Amino acid sequence: MAVTSLWHVKGSIKDVIDYIENPEKTVPNREMQDFFDVFSYVKNPLKTNEGEYVSAVNCLKETALQQMILTKKQYQKTGGYIAWHGYQSFKPDEVTPEQCHEIGLKLARKMWGDKYQIIVATHLDKGHLHNHFCFNSVSFIDGQKYNYSKSEQKRLREVSDRLCREYGLSVIENPKKAPSRLLYLDEKSGKPTRYNVYWEDLREAINGSRDLQHMMKYLTDKGYEIDFSGSHWKMKLPQYKHFTRLDTLDERLTPDFIQSCLGGASRYGNYKARISYSPHMPEQYKNTWKPHQKTTGILALYYYWCYQLGIFPKGTDYKPTSPLMKEELRKLDEITAQVRYMSKNNISTLSDLHADREKNQREMNKLIDYRQHLRNKVRRATPAEKEKLREEKQGVTEQITELRKRLKYAEGIEKRSAHIESCLNQIHDTIENQRSNTRARADRRREETLR
């Protein structure tokens, strides 16, 4: 069984040339770093059994990058995506390193070998063997740029599956779209992602309801939108555009199975959905935010949100019951970093935030201009001067990186403050709906009693 993926590498020819000239001093972005790592294994083959499992197609592996650059310059296509990077990953203990590399090389030749320069590297350092493919975005035959369409994605999967069958390996018969890596890591670490929050609340609704009507009411009271029509039942929270099918949470969750499992924990009646705020909120914060009123105190808004999530005060055992707030706990590190940034830089309103962002942007623009000036000087400098200028340029790059991080904080804080208000409005509306429904039921019972 093998899974495949392919993605483009953003950057510039200048980044690649800098890496070739001085790889120790090159600080590429994350995508570029992954791309360069594959080529660095040729010179530092710790993951490939001393370079035994590194092969090249239509180029020499020792000079592959240089040859790719020459192809781009030959056809005057040095802009846009500079390369494509992908992998083919096998089930643990299903293939030997020799088979893994052989299959990867055949896949690369079949997919791109007629037009593109390719490096294939087989990695042995994980629990599962996997191949990395890096190939030029420009064809050495006709200068045509590679286009990764849905048909190409399907062809990559089909060729990989066909090779697996030839080698007697298992194949995924009914493939499903894999979650993003970030979501996969969050799920693995137990963070409350959308899907496990859905699953937890759905399980509570099934176990706590004796019939389908009460189960639907439980989920609605929790704030979910549900669609139980057709053969695939669906649910979602209001902030999401698309519904999630219940059988994607667990393939067993068909309508018949759900109805057969109703009432597992509700022997003497149906459970009621409950949403609560943190009981630990200090008095001075209780009036910080009022539903449906715009607030300019974003720092106070963040503090309020942290109390609702149970982050403040430390040591509390409060856990939010709203699915909206439960999922926010997944972003705990990000929220904490944003609060610290606002506290450190005395930012309490949107005006403060905008002023901080403009100051950082001006400073970064000056540094970018100065770095370009240093690059121009490097071209004209002597070898001895080049080293000194490159060190100075590296220091400027680090300052720019820090300023970019600050600008990212500012952008994230502005977006999250609006998101927090929206979430609190939704939670407030959900609680009000629960209360009005409870009052309406009480009124109906009173009327029936009077009759």
Give the pLDDT confidence of 47-102 residue by residue, as tens digits: 556 667 888 999 988 888 889 889 988 998 888 888 888 889 998 888 998 999 99
What per-residue confidence (pLDDT) applies to 449? 81
> How many alpha carbons lie under 13 Å from residue 337 in its C-beta half-sphere?
10
- Give all strands of the β-sheet with 234-236 in edge-to-edge order: 225-227, 234-236, 244-245
The pair of structure tokens assigned to 188 is: 């693995």
Q: Give φ, ψ of 91 to 5 degrees.
A: -65, 140
pTM: 0.52
Question: Which string of DSSP letters, residue by residue, matches 132-180?
Answer: EEEEESB-TTT-PBP---HHHHHHHHHHHHHHHHHTT----SS--PPPP
Count of C-beta atoms within a 10 Å radius of residue 89: 18
The better pLDDT of the pair 366, 46 is held by 366
One-letter amino acid for residue 40 of the chain:
S
What per-residue confidence (pLDDT) applies to 64? 84
pLDDT in tens, 103-150: 999 999 999 999 999 989 888 877 788 898 989 999 999 999 999 988
User: Which pLDDT band holds residue 407 (cuts at 50, 70, 90)?
Assistant: very high
One-letter amino acid for residue 73 of the chain:
K
Distance CA 277, CA 428 (A): 10
What per-residue confidence (pLDDT) applies to 173? 74
What per-residue confidence (pLDDT) applies to 367? 92
What per-residue confidence (pLDDT) applies to 48? 57
User: Which pLDDT band holds residue 335 (cuts at 50, 70, 90)?
Assistant: confident
Contact 392, 377 (CB under 8 A): no
Of 334, 333, 347, nearest in space to 301 by CA = 347
pLDDT in tens, 249-295: 888 899 999 988 888 776 667 888 877 766 666 566 555 555 545 54
Distance CA 93, CA 90 (A): 8
One-letter amino acid for residue 156 of the chain:
L
Which residues, other chains included, contact 379 with Cβ-Cβ below 8 Å and sequence gap of 6+? none
